[in-house]
Structure 1
Amino acid sequence: MERLSYIDEHARSVDANRERAWKALLTTMCKDPADPSTVPAGFVLDSAEAPARLALQGRHWFAKYALIFELDEDGPSRTTVRARSWGDFPGPHGKIYRALVIGSGGHVLMVRMLLRRIAAAA
Structure 2
Amino acid sequence: MEITGLPHVDVHTQIVAADAHAVWQSIGEVLDRSFSEGRFAGYARLVGCPDRTPAGPRPMAKGSVYPGFHVRSADPGRELVLVGRHYFSTYALVFRLDETGPGLTRLRAETRARFPGPVGTLYRLLVIGTRGHAISVRRLLAAVRRRAEHVR
Is residue 92 of structure 1 aligned with residue 118 of structure 2? yes
Q: Please say if residues 60 and 74 of structure 2, whose CA atoms lie closer than 8 Å, have aligned partners that are also in contact.
A: no
Cα distance change of structure 1 residues 55 and 106 upon mapping to structure 2, 3 Å threshold: same
Alignment of 1:50-69 (within 5 A): 50-69=76-95
- Which blocks of at least 5 consecutive residues in structure 1 are unaligned? none
Which stretch shifts more, 39-48 or 22-31? 22-31
Give the structure 2 partner of residue 34 of structure 1. Answer: 59
Report the structure, 1 or 2, having the larger helix content: 2
Deviation at 1:39, TM superposition (A): 4.0
Deviation at 1:26, TM superposition (A): 1.1
Give the structure 1 partner of residue 20 of structure 2. Answer: 18
Give the structure 2 partner of residue 109 of structure 1. Answer: 135
Give me the whole-angstrom Cα distance separating, in 2, the residues matched to 1:67 and 1:61.
17
- The secondary structure found in structure 2 opposite 1:93 is helix
Deviation at 1:18, TM superposition (A): 0.8
- Which blocks of at least 5 consecutive residues in structure 2 are unaligned? 33-53
Report the structure, 1 or 2, having the larger strand content: 1
Which stretch shifts more, 73-82 or 25-34? 25-34
Give the structure 2 partner of residue 72 of structure 1. Answer: 98
User: Normalization by structure 2: what TM-score?
Assistant: 0.76
Q: Please say if residues 16 and 107 of structure 2, whose CA atoms lie closer than 8 Å, have aligned partners that are also in contact.
A: yes
Q: CA-to-partner distance for each residue in 1:32-65, whole Å, 9 max, x for gaps?
A: 7523344420111110001100000000111000
**What is the aligned-residue RMSD (CA, Å)?**
1.4
Give me the whole-angstrom Cα distance separating, in 2, the residues matched to 1:67 and 1:39.
13
Give me the whole-angstrom Cα distance separating, in 1, the residues matched to 2:65 and 2:101.
29
Give the structure 1 partner of residue 8 of structure 2. Answer: 6
